[in-house]
């Protein structure tokens, strides 16, 4: 089919502008996005020792994934990843509720807005280290708990409850993570609607359920969908707090550490495993989005 | 209604507002308030440890408040915090705190510049022009967001090695991604700007590039600056990329992460190490304190659908 001449009615000057402005992003997309996808595919289908095309990497990845046994790192990492994924999903509504209370300007809302967002703005290393020192068996918090309860051993020990130890930190830090998005979303709600609800005599809980939540529902669905998209990448703060020790490996951290440690002989297996997870993610995203949309309708305002 | 300064703060109206909120909101509001106090308390405790006399702290790690202070911890941290790196000729050398600070600055400024340049140009063109391939490019951006390919660190490393961007300041080129969430926010902002601005610039004789640079970019300055600050903070705090891709150019975040287990070997006790960490967060924290309101307001303006 012959392309219709000047279909888009852009002048020569505009065409020049379009091309010039597209260059940085398109070049980056070609090299660092498409290039990486091609490299991943190439590595996943190549025998690292012979350089021949083969499917052995996938076979290895599937065997690792479904093999049982306590010593199986990948199966353990898979379980941990699912735990972090569920935690990530549960944090979302808590974050929305906190944002709603700030939006309603409850006592100390300005302070809360800054304090809850702060961990995202300062160094993760600092927050992680503070948490580690605070929770250490010789740290002040454990000392306080021991004084209050009379128990000699700390309640949460990283060596015994590694995953719980990381999750507590992630919940504490993560709730305010999307505060900017939720507050932005709520600030767009027409004030008349809130006032109208008040005149009708609805309370704050009903206001949240019947007015605010339906109006921010599309964003809520988007945020949950993003969580589902990142299902196999859910990793919490494993690298920061335990470096994968004490049974806290996650899939993405396991893959990351292979590169960090320069274990080149596993690179192609990692690529194959990554592709398997990518394929598994696709239906999950659609099922998740369909499921979420059953609970609410898109509202225009 | 808006209260700009503390001096003009209308306390009576605020108390009236709190009363109007009712008991449920005020009681439930205590949960995030306590949560926030806890977070701030942990940070204050950290500052308190950074100021503690290391000899005193050794026997009092389990106390909340320091009794013996030593401000020179900060000077000691700058002198003692260093990291071993390759000297490029098969040997090793020590990177000083100042060198790591310099690396953090160029990494954060460079990364932010590359990302913002790419994002703003890309978002503007896709939002404001109709051209062949526009829908395809938009679809690629959406697909890239909807379907992340897992396990790409190995492929990324291999690719960067092939194009000679590994362990070099040229790695910044790899940070110039114009897609992702920031594209969506900027795209939505440009899309909502009135066509009248472009028409007026045309009447005044501006060409398309001049219109972009002198009219549209200044109009989008609030969202661009908010995203730039967010990017700078993210790059300043980034340690994952630095420890893999920039081994010879240790940044403060990367080095402080690596030094977690080696601090004692370098003769650094916890208070000195904490002092080093607190100095390292000053640029990001200062930016956050100065721009937090702009970030909250402007990112919302561009914001997600909802």
- The DSSP annotation for B35-74 comes to HHHHHHHHHHHHHHHHTB-HHHHHH-TT-SS-SSB-TTHH
Is the CB of B121 less than 8 angstroms away from the CB of A260?
no
On the question of pLDDT at B133 being above 60, the answer is: yes
Quick one: average pLDDT of A3-31?
84
State the CB neighbour count (10 A cutoff) for residue B91: 7
The residue behind tokens 């960490």 is B277
CB A221 within 8 A of CB A185: no
Q: Which of B153, B299, B303 sits opposite A255 (nearest CB)?
A: B153
Which residues in B lie closer than 8 A to residue A168 (C-beta atoms)? none
Higher local confidence (pLDDT), B228 or B179: B228
Q: Which of A21, A114, A203 sits opposite B121 (nearest CB)?
A: A21
Is the CB of A278 less than 8 angstroms away from the CB of B32?
no
Is the CB of B21 less than 8 angstroms away from the CB of A108?
no
Helices and strands in chain A: count of H runs, count of E runs: 15, 0
On the question of pLDDT at B188 being above 70, the answer is: yes
Instruction: Determine which of A69-83, B232-246, B272-286 has the lowest per-residue pLDDT on average.
Output: A69-83
On the question of pLDDT at A227 being above 60, the answer is: yes
CB A28 within 8 A of CB B163: no
Quick one: average pLDDT of B274-289?
90
Closest CA to B67 of B91, B49, B82: B49
Output Rg (C-alpha) for chain B, integer angstroms.
24
Q: Which of B23, B63, B154, B280 to mutate to test the interface with A (most CBs of A within 10 A)?
A: B154
Sign of CA dihedral A19, A25, A31, A37: negative
**Cβ–Cβ contact A209 with B under 8 A:** no
Note the helical H segments in chain B. Answer: 11-28, 30-50, 54-59, 73-80, 97-128, 134-146, 152-162, 181-192, 196-203, 208-211, 217-219, 221-237, 240-245, 252-258, 270-280, 282-302
DSSP class per residue in A142-161 = HHHHHHHH--SS-SS-TTT-
Distances (CA, A) of A145 to A44, A152, A188: 50, 9, 44
Using CA atoms of A29, A33, A36, A38 in order, give the dihedral in degrees to the nearest 10.
Answer: -80
- The three-state secondary structure class of B248 is coil
ipTM of model: 0.82
The pLDDT of residue A72 = 67
On the question of pLDDT at A96 being above 90, the answer is: yes
Confidence of residue B294 (pLDDT cuts 50, 70, 90): confident
Higher local confidence (pLDDT), A7 or B207: B207
Instruction: Determine which of A79-83, B132-136, B154-158, B299-303 has the lowest per-residue pLDDT on average.
Output: B299-303
Is the CB of B244 less than 8 angstroms away from the CB of A18?
no
On the question of pLDDT at A5 being above 60, the answer is: no
The pLDDT of residue A27 = 94
The pLDDT of residue B142 = 84
Minimal C-alpha gap between B270 and chain A (Å) = 9
Quick one: average pLDDT of B164-173?
93
Quick one: average pLDDT of A236-244?
85
- Which helix (H) or strand (E) segment is A249 a member of? none
C-alpha B290, offset from chain centre:
13
Q: What's the token pair of residue B237?
A: 């705090």
Confidence of residue B264 (pLDDT cuts 50, 70, 90): low
CB B111 within 8 A of CB A11: no
Which residues in B lie closer than 8 A to residue A10 (C-beta atoms)? 129-131
**Cβ–Cβ contact A43 with B under 8 A:** yes
Minimal C-alpha gap between B80 and chain A (Å) = 18
CB B51 within 8 A of CB B77: no
The residue behind tokens 């490299």 is A39
On the question of pLDDT at B34 being above 70, the answer is: yes
Q: Which of A172, A251, A274 sits opposite B152 (nearest CB)?
A: A274
The pLDDT of residue B306 = 36
On the question of pLDDT at B53 being above 80, the answer is: yes
Is the CB of B37 less than 8 angstroms away from the CB of A3?
no
Quick one: average pLDDT of A177-188?
83
Q: Which of A9, A39, A185 sits opposite B155 (nearest CB)?
A: A39
The pLDDT of residue B28 = 92
Closest CA to A166 of A137, A132, A118: A132
Which residues in B lie closer than 8 A to residue A143 (C-beta atoms)? 62-63
The pLDDT of residue A1 = 46
Name the residue of chain A whose CA is nearest to B206's CA: A13
Is the CB of B233 less than 8 angstroms away from the CB of A39?
no
Minimal C-alpha gap between A262 and chain B (Å) = 9
Residues 6+ apart with CB under 8 A from A299: A214, A215, A217, A218
Quick one: average pLDDT of B48-71?
87
Q: What's the token pair of residue B102?
A: 């310099």
Q: What's the token pair of residue B10?
A: 């209308």
The pLDDT of residue A291 = 73
Output Rg (C-alpha) for chain A, integer angstroms.
25
Q: Which residues of A89-116 are buried (b: 16+ CB within 10 A; e: fewer)?
A: bebbebbbbbbbbbbbbbbbbeebbbbb
pTM of the model: 0.85
Instruction: Determine which of A102-116, A232-246, B116-130, B197-211 has the lowest per-residue pLDDT on average.
Output: A232-246
Helix A73-103, helix A162-174: angle, nearest 10: 30
Q: Burial, B183: exposed, middle or buried (Cβ in 10 Å; 0-12, 13-18, 19+)? A: buried
CB B163 within 8 A of CB A36: no
Spatial separation of the C-alpha atoms in residues A229 and A234, rounded to whole Å: 10
Quick one: average pLDDT of B32-36?
94
**Cβ–Cβ contact A190 with B under 8 A:** no
End-to-end CA distance of chain A: 42
Closest CA to B296 of A174, A227, A185, A92: A185
Which residues in A lie closer than 8 A to residue B256 (C-beta atoms)? 123, 125
CB A123 within 8 A of CB B253: yes
The residue behind tokens 């274990």 is A263
Q: Which of B152, B233, B278 sits opposite A121 (nearest CB)?
A: B233
Confidence of residue A300 (pLDDT cuts 50, 70, 90): low
Q: What's the token pair of residue B21?
A: 């909120």
On the question of pLDDT at A190 being above 80, the answer is: yes
Is the CB of B284 less than 8 angstroms away from the CB of A122?
yes
CB A182 within 8 A of CB A119: no
Name the residue of chain A whose CA is nearest to B151's CA: A274
Reading phi first (left if > 0) and then psi (alpha if -120 to 50, else beta), residue A298 is in: beta
Q: What's the token pair of residue A120?
A: 């995202």
Which residues in A lie closer than 8 A to residue B299 (C-beta atoms)? 180-181, 184
The pLDDT of residue B212 = 95
Q: Burial, B116: exposed, middle or buried (Cβ in 10 Å; 0-12, 13-18, 19+)? A: buried
The pLDDT of residue B129 = 92
Q: Burial, A149: exposed, middle or buried (Cβ in 10 Å; 0-12, 13-18, 19+)? A: exposed
Higher local confidence (pLDDT), A173 or A139: A173
Q: Which of A17, A26, A138 sits opposite B61 (nearest CB)?
A: A138
Which residues in A lie closer than 8 A to residue B278 (C-beta atoms)? 126
Minimal C-alpha gap between A122 and chain B (Å) = 6
The pLDDT of residue A95 = 93
Sign of CA dihedral B111, B113, B116, B121: negative
State the CB neighbour count (10 A cutoff) for residue B88: 9
Average pLDDT, chain B: 87
Is the CB of B151 less than 8 angstroms away from the CB of A40?
yes
On the question of pLDDT at B259 being above 90, the answer is: no
Higher local confidence (pLDDT), B149 or B228: B228
Which residues in A lie closer than 8 A to residue B33 (C-beta atoms)? 106-108, 111-112
On the question of pLDDT at A163 being above 60, the answer is: yes
Confidence of residue B305 (pLDDT cuts 50, 70, 90): very low
Instruction: Determine which of A46-50, A287-291, B240-244 has the lowest per-residue pLDDT on average.
Output: A287-291
A299 strand-pairing partners = none
B85 strand-pairing partners = B93
Is the CB of A271 less than 8 angstroms away from the CB of B144?
no
């Amino acid at each position: 089919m012959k392309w219709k001449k000047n279909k888009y009615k852009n002048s020569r000057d505009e065409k020049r502008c379009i091309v010039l402005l597209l260059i940085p992003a398109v070049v980056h997309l070609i090299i660092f996005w498409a290039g990486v996808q091609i490299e991943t595919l190439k590595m996943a289908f190549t025998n690292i020792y012979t350089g021949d095309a083969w499917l052995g990497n996938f076979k290895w990845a599937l065997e690792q994934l479904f093999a049982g046994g306590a010593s199986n790192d990948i199966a353990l990492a898979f379980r941990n990843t699912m735990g972090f994924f569920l935690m990530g999903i549960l944090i979302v509504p808590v974050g929305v509720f906190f944002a709603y209370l700030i939006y309603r300007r409850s006592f100390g809302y300005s302070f809360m807005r800054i304090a809850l967002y702060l961990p995202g703005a300062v160094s993760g290393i600092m927050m992680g280290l503070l948490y580690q020192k605070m929770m250490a068996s010789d740290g002040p918090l454990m000392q306080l708990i021991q004084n209050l309860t009379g128990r000699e051993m700390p309640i949460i020990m990283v060596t015994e409850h590694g995953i719980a130890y990381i999750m507590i930190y992630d919940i504490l830090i993560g709730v305010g993570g999307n505060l900017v998005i939720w507050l932005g979303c709520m600030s767009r709600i027409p004030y008349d609607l809130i006032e109208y609800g008040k005149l009708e005599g609805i309370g704050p809980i009903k206001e949240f359920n019947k007015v605010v939540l339906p109006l921010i529902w599309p964003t809520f669905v988007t945020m949950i969908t993003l969580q589902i998209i990142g299902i196999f990448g859910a990793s919490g703060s494993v690298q920061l707090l335990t470096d994968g020790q004490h049974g806290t490996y996650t899939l993405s951290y396991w893959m990351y550490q292979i590169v960090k440690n320069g274990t080149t002989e596993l690179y192609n297996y990692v690529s194959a495993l990554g592709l398997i997870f990518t394929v598994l993610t696709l239906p999950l995203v659609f099922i998740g989005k369909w499921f979420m949309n059953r609970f609410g309708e898109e509202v225009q305002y | 209604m808006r209260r700009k300064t503390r001096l003009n703060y209308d306390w009576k109206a605020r108390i009236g507002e709190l009363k109007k909120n009712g008991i449920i909101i005020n009681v439930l509001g205590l949960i995030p308030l306590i949560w926030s106090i806890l977070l701030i308390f942990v940070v204050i405790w950290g500052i308190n440890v950074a100021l503690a006399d290391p000899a005193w702290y050794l026997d009092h790690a389990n106390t909340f408040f320091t009794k013996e202070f030593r401000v020179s911890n900060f000077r000691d941290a700058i002198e003692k915090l260093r990291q071993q790196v390759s000297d490029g000729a098969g040997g090793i050398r020590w990177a000083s705190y100042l060198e790591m600070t310099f690396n953090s600055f160029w990494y954060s400024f460079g990364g932010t510049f590359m990302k913002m340049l790419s994002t703003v140009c890309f978002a503007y063109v896709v939002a404001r022009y109709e051209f062949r391939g526009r829908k395809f490019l938009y679809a690629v951006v959406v697909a890239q967001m909807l379907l992340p390919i897992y396990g790409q660190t190995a492929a990324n490393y291999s690719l960067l090695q092939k194009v000679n961007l590994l362990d070099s300041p040229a790695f910044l080129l790899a940070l110039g991604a114009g897609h992702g969430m920031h594209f969506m926010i900027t795209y939505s902002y440009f899309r909502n700007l009135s066509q009248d601005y472009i028409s007026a610039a045309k009447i005044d004789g501006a060409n398309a590039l001049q219109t972009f640079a002198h009219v549209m970019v200044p109009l989008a300055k609030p969202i661009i600056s908010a995203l730039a600050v967010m990017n700078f903070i993210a790059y300043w705090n980034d340690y994952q990329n630095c420890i893999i891709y920039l081994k010879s150019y240790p940044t403060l975040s990367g080095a402080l992460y690596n030094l977690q287990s080696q601090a004692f070997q370098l003769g650094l006790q916890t208070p000195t190490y904490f002092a080093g960490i607190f100095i390292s967060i000053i640029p990001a924290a200062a930016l956050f304190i100065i721009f937090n309101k702009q970030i909250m307001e402007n990112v919302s303006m561009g914001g997600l659908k909802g």
